[in-house]
Amino acid sequence: MTLRQLWAEGADLLRSAGVAEAELDARLLLLEAFRIDTAHFLAEQTRPLPETEAVRRQIGPYRDLVSERARRKPLAYILGRQEFMGLTFAVDERVLIPRQDTETLAELVLEEQKDPGLSVLDLCTGSGCIAVSLAVLGGYAETAAADRSEAALAVAEANARELLDETWEIGTWRPGGKEKTGNDMQDGGGGPVSGRRHFRLYCGDLFEALPPGKKYDILVSNPPYIPAGEISGLQAEVRSYEPRIALDGAADGLAFYRRIAAEAPLWLRPGGSAYLEIGHDQAAAVCGLLEEQGFRQIQVFKDLPGHDRVVRASL
């Protein structure tokens, strides 16, 4: 038995299960099970594997991983991680898997909003991929991430603590009061360390999660936007494994956009901007909702495949 034969075996099983990228997924699972990199695989793939107990303890888990993928469990959930904006985020079935399409939003914010003194609010943060990426790459003075799912917020918090360095003061607030956790940093007087940047996580339903009176310069969100009736027709990986709470945008998919458009002016500073990820056919509707609430300079941006993906608007 060789690594190449194991790879082919896995790819055949995944192909028969209808997995779109069967060969790629089988190879990635093989690398994971054998704890090797691509270079090692390419160099060793045709050499017979030694018939040792150690190798058998790698072949078994590999076949188990392939079986999981054949049941259409997403690769990111099996591996427990997903790349986004050059960073590695922990993910599991509590959160939506970060997608390359969403990088369009993060890249646009970083391109247009270069002042590190600005504050950012990310609604429906999920894994925290947008908020943490903007904090790391934009270095903004304050970043807030909110989600109504406590389970999702726990994933976002773990990612923030893994990816943000010691220059950040991280705090988490949940229903019933403020809860300070982990590496929150304080000076001798009990207040935040001066000069530190702030990353805040809030649990609650959209703006209801936030402390009264807060104002932000930038609002970003990738809210649930799939019409409820269309979820059953999504890929098996999505409809069977990803959290419905992160997908379901009610009957027409626009429920969260209506609320964000209506309430955002109360939470954005004058001149502040909103960046919203949208479904490919929702640009006109979302632009209309924002215009009704007094937003201006409304513009639609496309993702790499050429689909409408982000609406940007300013007050």
Token pair of 90, please? 């922990």
Across-strand partners of 200? Answer: 144, 171
Predicted confidence band of residue 173 (pLDDT cuts 50, 70, 90): confident
- Over residues 257-299, the pLDDT tens digits come to 999 999 999 999 999 999 999 999 999 999 999 999 999 999 9
- Range 82-314 has CATH code 3.40.50.300: no
Q: Average pLDDT, stretch 120-138?
A: 98
What integer is the mean pLDDT of 10-30?
97
pTM: 0.92
Better-scored residue on pLDDT, 195 or 35 = 35
| H helix runs in the chain, sequence order | 3-16, 22-34, 38-44, 53-70, 75-79, 100-112, 129-138, 150-163, 236-241, 255-263, 283-292
165-180: b (≥16 Cβ within 10 Å) or e: eeebbbbbbbeeeeee
pLDDT value for 195: 66
* pLDDT band at residue 192 using 50, 70 and 90 as cut-offs: very low
Calculate mean pLDDT across residues 52-66: 96
Strands 197-203 and 168-174: parallel
Mean pLDDT across 144-153? 96
Q: Give yes or no for a contact between 197 and 160, defined as CB atoms under 8 angstroms apart.
A: no
